[in-house]
Chain A
């Protein structure tokens, strides 16, 4: 598994953990008929995946996550979906790169 794929998975797990950590969210899901779950193994998986990511990206991810609730955001039509700024063409990942940073908000960009 590549480092960028691991980081994307961490982001997806964090979205799930955020959803399940909110009491109001759990109540809403319960009303719809969804069973409650135990998120302990999800925390362990997150930890395992996160340790495979380079320390620099770990720091950048945690910083954006604590500030905005998202460490990684998508890019659509060259627009950062976190801060909605149009990114310069130079912001696109170069050969051999898969992750870049939004210079405006500091979130990690997913160009997928």
Chain B
């Protein structure tokens, strides 16, 4: 089955230039809170599901990257939220490096595992190269970050 990442996959509300949170769970709550009205049907449910996924196994894959992800009843459309932390958030990564870039991948509950993983693969591939990650870290301001992120995903 082909995946349709319907627009608006990205809008200004789905990039967080600088996370204020210093812990994993607080960062997840901040990501959920950043989603503007109408995107999330049940913020508490989404927060619990993301936290539960982390307890199952950390979504930090090393090199300062984390991809919190769930299929959830809380969203009606696929969403990716990119967030940066210049300080770094401890995330129980395999290499113990704090997370500087995170991309939350949210898929509707109706999606199959395969569709969700395609979306996840797209996010991971966009951040695979060091020079791409560095560009995102160096991007100044929300518009530059959003444009670059959009370019990397295309």
Contact A25 B72 (CB under 8 A): no
Contact A73 B56 (CB under 8 A): no
The verdict on A15 contacting B109 (CB below 8 Å), with A32-B121, A110-B73 known, is yes
Chain A: how many interface residues by the 8 Å CB criterion?
35
Other than the given A9-B48, A15-B71, 6 more pairs (CB < 8 A) read A12-B73, A16-B53, A32-B120, A74-B41, A81-B108, A112-B41
Distance of A67 Cα from B28 Cα, bound (Å): 33
Q: How many Cβ-Cβ contacts under 8 Å join chain A to chain B?
A: 93
Residues of B within 8 A of A76 (CB): 76
Among candidates B41, B56, B61, residue contacting A39 with C-beta atoms closer than 8 Å: B56
Distance of A38 Cα from B56 Cα, bound (Å): 6
Residues of A within 8 A of B44 (CB): 5
Contact A74 B113 (CB under 8 A): no
- Interface size on B, as a range, is 20 to 34
1/0 per residue, CB under 8 A from A, across B103-125: the answer is: 00000111001001100110010
Residues of A within 8 A of B41 (CB): 74, 110, 112
